[in-house]
Amino acid sequence: MSDSISVLIVDDHPLLREGVAAVLDAEADITVVGEAKDGAEAVEAFARLSPDVVLMDLQMPGMDGVDAIGEIRSAAPEARIIVLTTYAGDVRALRALKAGASGYLLKSSLRRELIDTIRAVHGGRRYLNPQVAHDIALNAIGEPLTDREIDVLKSVSMGRANKEIARLLSLSEDTVKSHMRSIFTKLDVTDRTQAVTVAHRRGIILL
């Protein structure tokens, strides 16, 4: 149909792409015009196909979803992109929204939510999964981790002790301990395991 909503699906899992395509192709006003398995392919496919809406996964090999969103929006500021991901973390969601995403959905979303969001975003509106929106609001007033604190926390997630972290990051051990105290305060946790768990859940680090 000439007036149908054209959609590009971007995900590194073929079965996920096939499943989403099957759902969308059942709708009379939506047409899947292409698929891509990573961010670089998504940028190329968008330039070639000019879809009305892009469904974009976040974690993919090579260029990830956030970088792809930024590339596409840089070339086509009017591009309408919906993140479709397994990650509910508020930090990752904010990165995607700041890069230019118009919607943020979880892969656990109901079929109807996906379809309604595609139509809404195509119509110029925005949509944010309620759980993600709640987490963003909940953590909005909190102080974010610094880049160095994130580096320290990534090393902690790999099981490294403070002494090893200090050596790898060219810091003193006391400085690493100071960063850990700041991380605990900002994430409202009391130990290293909790810090890693909360940071992963919020999308600050990936495990």
- Name the superfamily (CATH) of residues 5-139: Response regulator (3.40.50.2300)
- The neighbouring-strand residues paired with 200 are none
pLDDT value at residue 87? 84
CATH (residue range 147-202):
1.10.10.10
Check: CB of residue 83 under 8 Å from CB of residue 102. Answer: no
Question: What are the residue ranges spanned by the domains of the chain?
Answer: 5-139, 147-202
- The neighbouring-strand residues paired with 30 are 5
- The neighbouring-strand residues paired with 106 are 85
In angstroms, rounded to a whole number, what is the distance separating the alpha carbons of residues 151 and 205?
9
CA distances from 81 to 13, 22, 32, 175 (A): 19, 19, 14, 41
**Residue 97 CA to chain centroid, in angstroms?**
9
- The neighbouring-strand residues paired with 53 are 7
CA distances from 149 to 128, 140, 170 (A): 28, 18, 13
Q: Go through 133-163 and write b for each residue having 16 or more CB atoms within 10 A of its CB, e for each that does not.
A: eebbeebeeeeebeeebbbbbbbbbeebebe
Q: What is the pTM of this model?
A: 0.79
What are residue 192's phi and psi, to 5 degrees? Answer: -65, -40
Per-residue pLDDT of the chain (207 residues; tens, 9 = 90+): 458 999 999 999 999 999 999 999 999 999 999 999 999 999 999 999 999 999 999 999 999 999 999 999 999 999 999 999 988 888 889 999 999 999 999 998 888 999 999 999 999 999 998 888 988 887 877 888 999 999 999 999 999 999 999 999 999 999 999 999 999 999 999 999 999 999 998 888 887
pLDDT value at residue 72? 98
3-state SS string over 89-142? CHHHHHHHHHHCCCEEEECCCCHHHHHHHHHHHHCCCCEECHHHHHHHHHHCCC
Check: CB of residue 165 under 8 Å from CB of residue 176. Answer: yes
